[in-house]
């Protein structure tokens, strides 16, 4: 029965457009507990207080889903090689080009569970898309979907790292897959390229120094110490992925909902500087960029104009 159900899971993942699927046994992540505790102790989570919440749930999937037996990990490609037409325009991370991935993938996961219940019968479980205390990269690595790179992101040998991770934790008894080896070797391109020195050790990122943290998570004024170091990123950052040799294998996504608004990549630096709230709402109507709000994006764009060590107030 386990073999039959595992086959159904993998067929369903392919049917719904997920590029890769892997399975792990739902068990306590003992090795990760010390790493997470140390990461929090060093305040690498910055102002992301939620990262310190639900410590036990992050490590034990049975505390998220009672009776959980398996963690199904899934990869969904979002790579879009198209760049903004004005090379001086403030930049936005690829993952936020189109419709908010939370909703796109959540709909697919709901369909996934529905198909499983049609073919297998009632199951007890929950779906996750970066929406709960789940150590998604750890679970994906345990199931053989890739390895955690020095930049702490999951890397897949066939498609690089431009993908979203999602999980279904359920009481289904499935055959687990095993992990693969780490193929980063001696490469340090991501570490060398990070302009804010956020990658402090192999697989350890000081989140409080990351450009994505500053431009999305941080709600306060941006610290003057980092003026001139954002390399023109106004929302998120793709630097560590762009320099990774494994992303030469990335292929353009096939998801229409991830296509950007027709005007998004055409806007000039001047147009971004003069962005109105109405245009913001139109460009990012169903986008993850809404998370930073119009005022937050304005703050980020203004900060990009500051020179390094310029301690003057932002008007």
Quick check: is 82 catalytic? no
Query: Of these residues, 130, 171, 177, 202, which one is catalytic?
Result: 130
Residue 254's CB is within 10 A of a number of other CB atoms, namely 9
Q: Which positions are annotated as active-site residues?
A: 130
């Amino acid at each position: 029965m386990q073999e039959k159900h595992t086959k159904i899971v993998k067929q369903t993942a392919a049917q719904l457009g997920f590029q890769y699927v892997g399975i792990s046994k739902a068990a306590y992540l003992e090795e990760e507990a010390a790493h997470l505790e140390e990461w929090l102790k060093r305040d690498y989570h910055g102002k992301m207080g939620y990262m310190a919440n639900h410590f036990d749930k992050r490590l034990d999937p049975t505390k998220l889903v009672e009776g959980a037996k398996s963690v199904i990990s899934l990869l969904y490609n979002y790579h879009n090689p198209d760049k903004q037409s004005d090379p001086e325009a403030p930049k936005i991370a690829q993952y936020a080009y189109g419709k908010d991935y939370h909703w796109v993938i959540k709909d697919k996961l709901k369909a996934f569970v529905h198909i499983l219940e049609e073919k297998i019968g009632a199951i007890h479980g929950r779906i996750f898309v970066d929406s709960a205390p789940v150590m998604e990269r750890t679970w994906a690595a345990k199931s053989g979907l890739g390895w955690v790179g020095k930049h702490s992101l999951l890397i897949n040998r066939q498609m690089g790292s431009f993908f979203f991770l999602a999980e279904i934790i359920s009481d289904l008894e499935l055959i687990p897959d095993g992990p693969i080896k780490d193929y980063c070797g001696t490469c340090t391109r991501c570490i060398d390229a990070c302009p804010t020195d956020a990658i402090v050790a192999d697989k350890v990122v000081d989140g409080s120094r990351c450009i994505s943290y500053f431009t999305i998570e941080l709600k306060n004024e941006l610290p003057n110490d980092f003026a001139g170091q954002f390399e023109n990123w106004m929302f998120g950052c793709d630097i560590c992925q762009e320099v990774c040799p494994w992303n030469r294998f990335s292929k353009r996504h096939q998801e229409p909902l991830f296509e950007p608004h027709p005007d998004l990549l055409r806007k000039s630096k001047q147009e971004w500087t003069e962005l109105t709230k109405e245009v913001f709402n139109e460009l990012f109507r169903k986008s993850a960029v809404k998370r930073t709000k119009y005022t937050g994006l304005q703050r980020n764009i203004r900060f990009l104009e500051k020179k390094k060590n310029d301690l003057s107030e932002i008007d």
